[in-house]
Each structure stands twice: as structure tokens, then as C-alpha cells.
Structure 1
Amino acid sequence: MSWAGKLLRVNLTTGTIATEPLNMAWARQYLGSRGLATKYLVEEIDAKVDPLSIDNKIIWSTGPLTGTMASTGGRYTVVTKGPLTGAIACSNSGGYWGAELKMAGWDMVIFEGRSPKPVYLSIQDDVVELKDAAHLWGKSVWETEATIKASHQDPLVRVSSIGLAGENQVLFAAVVNDLHRAAGRSGVGAVMGSKNLKAVVVRGTKGVGNLANPKEFMRVTAEKKKILHDNAVTGAGLPTYGTQVLMSVINEMGALPTRNHRDVAFEGAKDIGAEAMATPRATDGKKQLVTNQACFGCTIACGRISKIDKTHFTVQTKPQYWGASGGLEYEAAWALGAANGVNDLEALQYANVLCNEQGMDPISFGATIGAVMELYEMGVLTKEQLGIDAKFGDAQALAYFAEITARGEGFGKEIGQGSARLTKKYGHPDLSMSVKGQEFPAYDSRGIQGMGLTYATSNRGACHLRSYTVASEVLGIPVKTDPLTADGKPELVMAFQDATAAFDAAGICIFTSFAWGLADVQPQVAAACGDEFTLENLSQIGERIWNMERDFNNRAGFTAKDDTLPKRLLEEPAKTGPAKGLVNKLPEMLPKYYDIRGWDADGQLKPETRSRLGL
């Protein structure tokens, strides 16, 4: 078996650290990472707990394939009850941190209580200590990582930390590792900040052993890496263009949400997509895109490293931002760009850099700015309140909002509460493009119908990574389905949700699913963990995880009425493109989805569903 077999439990209130054996019965039911950490959380906290209270817990967790030679085996998750939504929060990150924890000999770290003063946790293999972080409080993610590496005199320690956003309780604050990889959504960074926990630092030198069948694992992982290499998406598209390859594709099919979802196509999409990032600039002849980058063990290398034009207004007097840094991914480029009508690529990269530096989710941040700009154009918000003119398309306003939100200054404090709270406060809650309080990603569900059901039923609020039906509806993976029809979408969404949960639990990247199905993951898990992990078993583990998360949310107070979409998507037809005249057909899809899920009309698990899944 490739679990380390033990976890750390850190009581921040008392400052004590304990070692526990991993619950292997649970590991066989929930596998690891997202699944196993969520099992621990739902067993240990009251579902109705205030996310920012001392009684909430927050867990860093790896999967059984994390740290191994399986492609993309560097993932880890941060699991807690999310402050943005009040629902289960599970945010996944790449980079190198997850593999480092596993190689230090730990599967998971559970934090409980609240420290009376800022601290960070240091893990050096078996030597684990809580250390004073007073000198780190108030520092950015970047400053924190540099300071810790210097004080530990080890450039190879891996740091997972928060910036000012987490400290200031921005409700979409992220946990950032390796400078620009992030457990980004649902406000996990705010929970970390509420506990006065600045960072988790790890150095592991043990490696990952104890594979069930090492020779078979080497054989099967090599076989599956070749599938990734030979695939048009994972072997060519993502390495070359990153996720930004989607900008023009989604725009052309009339499913790129624009100006707070008022439109479904953006006239400036060509200025902020993959091609623009790779085109030499007129000002200095250099490209914004410097190179691609891979996370631990990844054979895809979709990450972007970019440079801002030093003559651009955002950085002209800020040389600290002239170097190469994490570049725009599709979701961030959309949220900072099309969602606000901004087509200034350098301004988008600047805002993205600030999100990385101070630990903010660029999706929720950008989508919230879309609501702010619409409220401004309606006259509900004024220049005096905001500190700047903020019409759609204003790049200066975008940059300004990124700065004040990260610092928690002025109107930035309100932006930091997310669009649901902000629009409700100013009397227009329907202008929040969110589900369960979490803002939409970059796909308009009038033009991609399955994504409407995906958003409405996602356990962590609106999310594309919980059921990426875009793969089928747009890219034809694993089969092509019609994006404009509701037919077959309940079954499609359920299949994607369950499979994604299994991928996450294993500790691998969901991007492998462009080339792999569960039948490709299963032999890797079996060789690592044991022959009991059959295809049927792995599929049921995904379904079990999904239903466990749903059950937690139901106990937290969520009901069927929360499985919905904003009126704009249900009542205002798309104005242009292939979806012209269409709204999302959620009312048609949702009852069928509940039925095949084994839930009652109120969205609660039926007794027979609980029994079958062992919940």
C-alpha cells in the first residue's frame, strides 16, 4: 500500500502535536486526499459550525498516488467548512508541496482550535514543531516563502501559506504553495487566517515506499504516461497553450460569460487568450509568455510563466513585478478579463500576480468585480464609494480593486466578502453570478447546458472542476454530446462528478482525464494500494465521496432550493451565438438528476442510497 499510514494532529489552542495511525478502514472506503480528508472532517465537526470559529477544523491531505511516479502525482487538498459558502470546502493544488509531505512520511495534517498568536508548522520528516510567525504576519506569500527558506537555511523546503487576504479574512482567500500554485476556491485561506496559522512548511527525505506491487506499478504508470503523451490535449494543446487554449474556443461557441453574464461572447477575447500571450508585444518585442512549467511528476506541464511589460501603467513604478511569475490560466484570464469587459492583457496579468502574491482566488475576485461594475453602471454604487470610476472595460479600476482587496482597504473590504453578500447588501442579489455563494467559472450555461446542472449541484458551490462536462459538450471527450440540449445531461453530470471525486482522492490532476478514464486510473491505484481496488470499487468510491459531501451540506442547512442558478441564466435568453434565445434548462434536468442519484425530491439521500454506499 502506498499510504504513509500516519497523520499529524495539531491543536493550535494548546500548541500540542500528536501522531496518529491513519484509519485504514476509511482509507479503503474513501482512498485519500479529498475523500479521506472529508471523511475525517465530517466525522469531527458539527455541520452547522461557523467556518471562522475556533470549532472548525482544516486539513491538508495527500492521496495514495501523491509523491509516486504516477503522472501528476503531486496533488494535495485543503479541506474545511468554507466561509464563502458555508458548505464543504475542498480546494486542490499542484506544485511540489503535496509530494513533499508524503515523502516526509505523512498522509495528512489536521489542524484544530486557534492559536493565541501567529504560528507556522514546520515538518522535517519526523521532527514536527510549531514555530512563532509574528515576523511573518503581514507579509505576502512571496515574502513568507523567502523568509522561511532563509531561516531554515534550506531552499528545498516547501511552503504552503497565506498572504494578506487570508489574514484579513477575505472570504475567497486562497492557500498558496510554490509561489503560484493554489488551493484557490471557497475561502480555505480565510479559515487558515482565522486560526492564526500563517504557513505549513515541509521537507521530506524518505521517499514513498510500500507499493503493493512495485514492478507492476512501474509498468502501468509508464503505459499511462504514453497515453497522456500521445493525446492531442495532454500531449500538445495544454503544454503549448495551457488552459488558455480555451478562450477563443468557448468565445466562438457563444458560451464565454461577459460583463457579469449579460453577454455570452466577448469582442476582446482575442486580446486576452493564449495566442495573445504568445505574441511579441509592440512595446518591447517580447512575449508575455516566457515558458510553460510542470508540477511534481507531471508529464503535461500546462503551467504558465509570464512577464509583464515594465512600461505598463500597473508596474511602471513597481520593479518588484518586472520579473517572471505565474501566468494567466483560462479561468483567471476570463474572470479578470471578459467577466469585466477588460481586454488589457498586461492589466490581467498584474491582477493575477497580486492574487498569487497575497493569496486570493482570481475567479471569485474577478467575478465579484463584474457585479461591482454592473452596480456602478446602474448608479447603485458611486465613484465616492469605490474610490474610482468603474465602468465595464476599465483596466485601471480592475488593477485598483485588486490592490485594495488584497490589502483589505476601503471598498476592498466589501469586495472581499464576495459577490453574493455584496449584491445583497446593495439591494440586487440577482446580480451575483454564483451558486451557494461561490462565483461561476468561465462557461455560460445557456451555451453549455450540462454546466448549469454542474454548477447548481456542485457540493462546494459553483465549480467546473467537480464535473467538467465541457470535455464532452465541447471537446468530445470521452464522447461528443450536444451542448445546447438537456437530454442525457443528468447522467453525464453524475458520471463526471463521481469520476472526478475518484481522481481527486487518488492524488492526481484532473487534467489527466482528458486522456484517461477511470479504467486508466484503476490499475495504477491497484498496483499501488492492492487488488481490492477494482474498477467497480473505484467508481463506487467516487460516488460515496460525492454523497458524503452532499450529506454534510444537507446537515449544514442546504436544501433543494439551493440547487439553482441566478435568474439571469434561467430567465434571460442568450442574445447571440449558437445559444441565442436559450436559457439554461435546469428545471428540466434537476428532477432526473435527483432520481438517478438516489435522492428524494428535497435533495436528501434516500435510506437505500445510504445503505448501498455505507454512509
Structure 2
Amino acid sequence: MYGYQNKVLRVDLSKKTAAAEPLRMDWAEKYIGSKGLAIKYLYEELKPGIDPLSPENKLILMTGPMTGTTVPCSGKLGVAGKSPATGTICDCSIGGHAALRIKYAGYDAVIIEGALDKPGYLLIEDDKISFEDASELWGKGCHETEAILADKYGHEYSVLTIGPAGENLCGMACITSDYYRQAGRGGMGAVMGSKNLKAVVVKGTGGVKIPNVEEAVKRILEIQNEDVLQEDNTFVFDWGTTAFLEACQDGGILPYKNFSDTTDPNWTEYNGEVFMEKLEGKRGCGSCGLGCGNFLKIGDAICEGPEYETIAAYGPNAGNRDPEAILKANQVADDMGLDTISSGDVLAWAMEMTEKGIHDFGIRFGEMDTYIKYLEMIAKGEGIGKELAMGVKKLAGKYGGKDFAMEVKGLEYPQYEPRGSWGMSLAYAVSDRGACHMRAYAPNEEVFAASIPPYTPEGKGEMVYKLAQHNAVKFCLCICDFWGTISMETMAELMSLVTGKEWTVEEIADVGTRVINIARAFNQREGFTAKDDTAPKRIFKEALKNGPAAGQKIPEEAFEDMKQQYYKVLGWDENGLLPDSLIATL
């Protein structure tokens, strides 16, 4: 098929070897690219039960057939491995320009195995591969590391790097590129750190072949004008995801003080208008059609963002309403290479533990000077930070507070209160990498569009499945989440234009279902079952006190009903397990 380079770069860090091999096109036809194809490779190549921080784990950087073409919003890079935070499969996507440069270097994917015996970085210049010393970079933040490498090689190179969090094998560690873009969840930065790999530096000078170029480019431009550039998508140019703050506040799903309640009467002190008044500049990723990146400066704090998740985590969920403190915390986390969602939930839990008198972690709600200091300590594994770096599941197992430890499978909750969107509790529970809003974004249907009642289990299994199926396809195509209006029909048409093979909507949809199933099969092989598809006891026991969802809690029987609906739609048994007959088709 067109759109592919038909080549994978396999790197063995232990042996310091790198060799190109053919892409498994039989797998590509079933999984397309990025999320799906990376998981397929990991499913086939990783032995069950391996330690995610051992040399046996693999880190896969995966593009897709649209990467490097004129398809808008197709610049995402898939990053996948076994998660040290959860023990599950984990895939993330990262924006910027790294995906394009890997593709232009001639590769659909880079598979990184083994581990270096001392800190180093991988340099890819088309078909020239080398292993460089990173001893002088080790210990530096992401921003300084990328600046040093950009000065050395030039800005036509992309850098994927880790900060101190990854070096210290923190389960909240990100991989960072273009300074402020992250593969943020599940600890992929720790996987990179366990391999003594400080960075991947890549330059590509090639191209991507597609059939009927003039006709394809003309139609792609029409799709951009007709679909991408409509108001339901372009709001991210004006607001980024700061716009979600008002929507979540009005919808009753903005978490407050470790999800103890929802909505904040003082939310206008840190809303989108407050942040966007401090706009210093904008940018977009490679192949971007929307340009969501906003550079803000408040006081001495400057960074790209903050995104909604970070505002909510470092704002109301921390009992904080100071926008400068939010931005400063964001800046520190980005430089340290820390997931803002997980670090925010860990610190919110620690604040509640302190205030309840269960265990004194030395921090209370709203104490942002200490909060910002703790972020750096978590990343560096220093003092109390070494404890907090364990993540909220392990912390609650050690100190108590399990009922309000907001996590699933060891991955902390994103910033959407599920008692105001019952389908979100299901989406968090059945997500392949632990609590995740990117697999199935239930608030879009239950709260914002109001197409299905939020406070009922009815129809939620089918709804979450359809959302997850759609997003699985989207991420296999490396399409950015902010092209929110893209349909299965459009994705099928784009695949046909780029690959030269006619794709039907049914075939595209089947890919989405297949990806959900193989991710589940990976986790099933690791011992995960329905008992791991959980929710914190808080959402069952405690009713919300404020906002549009006041009085809501989710009955446990309703939660279990939603789970069984979801399993049934996918053909899994009541324990959430795939039958052998289904596994055989993957």
C-alpha cells in the first residue's frame, strides 16, 4: 500500500546495533499504524510477565500511513510499551514534528530494545544511525536538553527526550518533544530512562508516496475546508483546551479538592479568559490544521499551555485558584518530564490525607509553594518526593486512604468527575491503560451534547464501545484528537486516498474493534480481569454536594451493569475475558 515506507528501524541498545527490516504489512492491513500496529508488535514480541523497567521491554515509536502527507492534523507519533505504572499495555501520542521526521527518514516505526550500559542518545539521520554519549545531559531538564541538542544539530532535527522523572524511573514520567509536547501517561519516560536513553534525535530528508497526488491533495484540501475548519474544531485555535474549563464547570464535572466535590464558585479567577489575556505566541504541530498551541506568560512563569487537564489538576483539584501558580507548576512539570494529571492527583490525595489526619505529607490544599517544590522532588526522587513518586495506588496501599485514591489499575484519574457523567466511570474502568479519557470521552455525549442522559447506566456499554472504537481508528491514523468532527466515513475516504486501497466504513470500524480487543488480550495475558475494571469507592459512597450534579453518586450495581453491557457488546465473558476464538482472529 502507498503511504507506508514499508520499513522498520529495529534498535538494540544492549548491542548498539540498528538495522532496517520490512514492516509487517499483513499486520498493517489489520491495524493500520500508530496505536493499533504498535500494540500488535508488542503483543507478538513481548513475553508475558516481563518487568516494564527491564531491558526486555520495548519502546515503540510508530507513525501511520498519513504521517508526512498533507492530511491535516496527522502529525501525531504513537509511543508504546508495557507500562511501569500499571503493568498494562500503554500507548500514548505526542505532537510536534518527530513523527514526520521519522517518516521522512524512511521508517514507519522505530523499535527500541535492550538498554545502554551508560547514558546515551540515539541519533537517526536518514539511514545513518549512531549511538552518542549523553553523560553531560543526564540530570538536565527536558527544556535544557532539547536546547543543547538543537544548538548542536539544528532545528531541522526533532528531539524526543526525558527529564529527571524518566531518569529516576518515576511511573509518572513523560517523553517530551518540541519542548512542550508530551507522551504523557503510563510512564513511557521511565521505560526510556530504564534503557539509559536520554533522547532520540532524528532528521529525515525523504518523502512519502501517495497515489494520484494532484487528485488526492485537492480532495484533502476540500476536506480541510469543509470539515476541519469548522467552529466545533477551530475553537482550539482561539482558546486551546482552556475552553473546557467553563464547559466542565457548567456541566458539573469539574473536580474539586481530590474529587471530593465538583464545581468551584471562584472558577472565573483561572478560566480561559484569564489565561488567554496572557498570550505571548502560538504554534501548531507538523501537518496541523488547527494550531492549538498557546504560549503564555504570567509573572515569571512561562510555558505552552496550560491544557484543561493541567488547569483542573493544579487548580481546583488542588484547592488553588492562582493562575500564576498553575502556570508555574505546569512549567516545572514539563521541564521535569512529569505527567500533570498523575502528579496532580497524587498531590491532591496527599493533601486530603494530611487534612483528614490519616498521614501528614506536609502539604494541604492550596499550598502551592510546597506543591511546586514537591513536583521537582517527585521527579528527582528526593525526600518525600521519592514516596509520592510511587503513585496513588501504591501510596494508598501503604498509608490508607484507598476510598479516595482516584485511580484505575494504578493510573490516576483524568480531570472529569464521573458522578456527573456515569459513562466516564465506565470509560475509566475499561480503558486499556488504566483511567483514561482519551479512549472514550463520555462527557461529550452525556454532558456537552446531552445526547444521552448522564445519570443512568442505560445504553452506556454501547456508547462507550462506539466512542472507543472511533478513537481507536483515529489514533491508528495518527489523527489529532482536536479534529473532533472527523467521521468514520471521512477516515475511510482518507485511507483510500493515501494508500490507494479502497477502504469501506465497515473495514475501518472493524480495525477499531480489533484494536480494542488486542489491547485487552495483552492485558488479559498479564492477568487482568473484570476485577481490575474498577472505580474508587468515593464515587459509590459519597454524593456530590454542589453544582448541576449535586446529589449524584453511582450505585455499585449500576456500575457493574455498565461493565457487563460493555463486555457483551464486545463478545467478552462476564469476567471481561476474550474467548480463545476471538483471540485467534487478532
Q: TM-score, normalised by structure 2?
A: 0.97
Pairs within 5 Å for 1:7-26: 7-26=8-27
The answer to whether the 8 Å contact 1:266/1:341 transfers is no
1:541 and 2:514 are equivalent in the alignment: no
Matched, 1:406 2:384: no
Query: SS of the counterpart of 1:307?
Result: strand
Q: Identity over aligned residues, as a percent? A: 40
| Equivalent position of 2:286 in the other structure | 296
SS of residue in 2 equivalent to 1:511: coil
Instruction: Find the residue that maps to 1:325 and give its secondary structure.
Output: strand
Q: Secondary structure at the match of 1:446?
A: helix
Counterpart selection for 1:559 from 524, 529, 541: 529
Work out which of the residue numbers 477, 480, 483 in structure 2 matches 1:509.
480
> What amino acid sits opposite 1:484 in the alignment?
Y
Quote the residue 2:143 is aligned against. Answer: 142
Helix, strand or coil: the match of 1:474?
helix
Distance of 1:343 and 1:181 partners within structure 2: 25
**Residue 241 of structure 1 aligns with which residue?**
239
Q: Which residue is 1:283 aligned to?
A: none
Q: Which residue identity does 1:483 align to in structure 2?
A: P
1:533 is displaced (CA, Å) by: 2.2
Q: Distance in 2 between matches of 1:229 and 1:6?
A: 30
Give, as a single letter, the amino acid of the residue that structure 2 aligns with 1:331: E
Tell me the distance in 1 between the aligned counterparts of 2:151 and 2:396: 44
Change over 3 Å in CA distance of 1:224–1:471 after alignment to 2: farther
Query: In the TM superposition, what whole-angstrom CA distance separates every residue of 1:479-530 from its partner, at most 9, and x where no partner exists?
Result: 8222223222111100111111111111111221x21111111111111113
For the aligned residue pairs, the C-alpha RMSD in angstroms reads 1.5
Relative to 1, partners in 2 of residues 1:471 and 1:217: Cα closer, same or farther, differing over 3 Å? farther
Q: Mapping of 1:555-594 within 5 angstroms?
A: 555-584=525-554, 585-594=558-567
Residue 461 of structure 2 corresponds to which residue in structure 1?
Answer: 490
* Range with greater deviation from structure 2 (361-370 or 400-409): 400-409
* Distance in 2 (alpha carbons) for counterparts of 1:186 and 1:600: 27
1:469 aligns with 2:442: yes
Aligned partners of 1:34, 1:471: CA distance in 2, in Å? 22
5+ long unaligned stretches in structure 2: none
From the superposition, tell whether residues 171 and 521 of structure 1 become closer, same or farther in structure 2 (CA, over 3 Å): same
Structure 1 pair 183–559 and aligned structure 2 pair: CA distance change class (3 A) = same
Deviation at 1:180, TM superposition (A): 0.4
Q: Is the 8 A contact 2:236 2:482 kept in 1?
A: no
Do the aligned residues in 2 keep the contact of 1:78 with 1:90 (CA within 8 Å)? yes
Offset of 1:608 from its aligned partner?
4.5
1:599 to 572, 577, 580: 572
Match of 2:42 in 1: 41
Q: Amino acid of the residue matched to residue 337 of structure 2? A: G
Q: Residue by residue, what CA displacement relative to the aligned partner does 1:131-160 show, whole Å, maximum 9, x if unpaired? A: 1111211111111112212222x2221000
Counterpart-to-counterpart distance in 2, 1:81 and 1:298? 29
- Secondary structure at the counterpart of residue 89 of structure 1: strand
* Residue range with higher mean Cα deviation, 421-430 or 326-335: 421-430
Shift of 1:229: 4.6
Counterparts of 1:72 and 1:447, CA distance in 2: 31
Letter in 2 for 1:432: A
Q: Is the 8 A contact 2:166 2:193 kept in 1?
A: yes
Name the residue aligned to 1:207: 207
Q: Distance in 2 between matches of 1:77 and 1:579?
A: 36
Q: Distance in 1 between matches of 2:531 and 2:211?
A: 45
Q: Structure 1 residue 347 and structure 2 residue 325: aligned?
A: yes
* Aligned partner of residue 581 in structure 1, secondary structure: coil
Q: Measure, in 1, the Cα distance between the counterparts of 2:78 and 2:294.
A: 21
Gap regions ≥5 residues in structure 1: 280-286, 311-320
Please report how far the alpha carbon of residue 278 of structure 1 lies from its aligned counterpart in structure 2 after TM superposition.
2.4
Q: Which amino acid aligns with 2:237?
A: P
Q: Which amino acid aligns with 1:590?
A: K
Question: Retained in 2: the 8 A contact 1:228–1:300?
Answer: no
- Which residue does the alignment assign to 2:250? 252
Cα deviations across residues 77-121 of structure 1 (Å, max 9, x unaligned)? 110000111101101111111111111111111111111111111
**Aligned mates of 2:141, 2:573 — CA distance in 1:** 47
Residue by residue, what CA displacement relative to the aligned partner does 1:331-380 show, whole Å, maximum 9, x if unpaired? Answer: 11111112111111111111111111121100000011010000110223
Contact 1:220 1:523 in 2 (8 A): no
1:518 paired to 2:491: no
CA distance in 1, matches of 2:266, 2:136: 44
Query: 1:162 — aligned with what?
Result: 162
SS of 2:420 mapped into structure 1: coil
Q: Which residue of 2 aligns with 1:420?
A: 393
| Equivalent position amino acid for 1:444 in 2 | E
CA distance in 2, matches of 1:544, 1:212: 27
Shift of 1:230: 4.3
Question: Residues 518 and 583 of structure 2 are in contact (CA less than 8 Å); yes or no, is this contact kept in structure 1?
Answer: no
- Name the CA distance, whole Å, in 2 between partners of 1:295 and 1:177: 11
Q: Contact 2:303/2:330 (CA < 8 Å) preserved in 1?
A: no
The CA deviation string for residues 553-584 of structure 1, in whole angstroms up to 9 with x for no partner, is 01111111011100001221222233222223
Q: Greater shift after overlay, 226-235 or 545-554?
A: 226-235
Is 2:350 aligned against 1:372?
yes
